[in-house]
Homo-oligomer: A and B are copies of this chain.
Amino acid sequence: MDMDGVMADLYEQLFDWDERDSGKRKTWEDVAGRKEKETFPMIRHYLFCEGFFRTMKVMKGCREVVEHLNTKYDLYITSAATEFPLSLPEKQAWLNEHFPFIGWQQMVFCGSKQIIHADIMIDDHFKNLDVFKGEMSILFTQPHNAHADNGKHIRVHTWEEIAKLLL
């Protein structure tokens, strides 16, 4: 499963940092259906800033469901991290803090996810799910994908829905 936009609340972080810099807080409605880089002018800068990945909030309901999934599945965290060098240690520290039951053996920090072999993938990006060759691909709703659909994936809006689907 993916981190940003699935386990870690990337948009809350973007709303916070963008509000700090612009003086006005955007809402889900403001950004839905548009790419992150179109709605957050400073995003490329944020992605290289110390603390950006380290201080994200955990997505609502995620911790409990992941802890449960971890007892039933051979679970791996697959996060695109190599594009942003600071994100590597920050993402690992974030996982260790919020998900201490996930071992280093289960962490995968990569660029392209084409190399990932698994049965089920949970991600918020079509580019990752579309090339996935496993049995089930789950699209986690985030503003950038909210208005798109290609009929290939199971869409979920919350971790509660993931629990219903997989537990």
Contacts and interface: CB of A to CB of B under 8 A. Distances in A.
Contacts of A88: 88-89, 92, 109
Contact of A104 (B83, B104, B116): B83
Q: For the side of the interface on A, what is the size category? A: 20 to 34
A89 B89 contact: yes
Contacts of A70: none
A118 interface: yes
Copies in the complex: 2
A109 B106 contact: no
Contact of A107 (B111, B117, B118): B111
A111 B103 contact: yes
A82 B76 contact: no
21 contacts: A76-B115, A82-B92, A82-B104, A82-B105, A82-B108, A83-B104, A83-B105, A85-B93, A88-B88, A88-B89, A88-B109, A103-B111, A104-B111, A105-B112, A106-B112, A107-B110, A108-B110, A108-B111, A110-B110, A116-B116, A117-B117
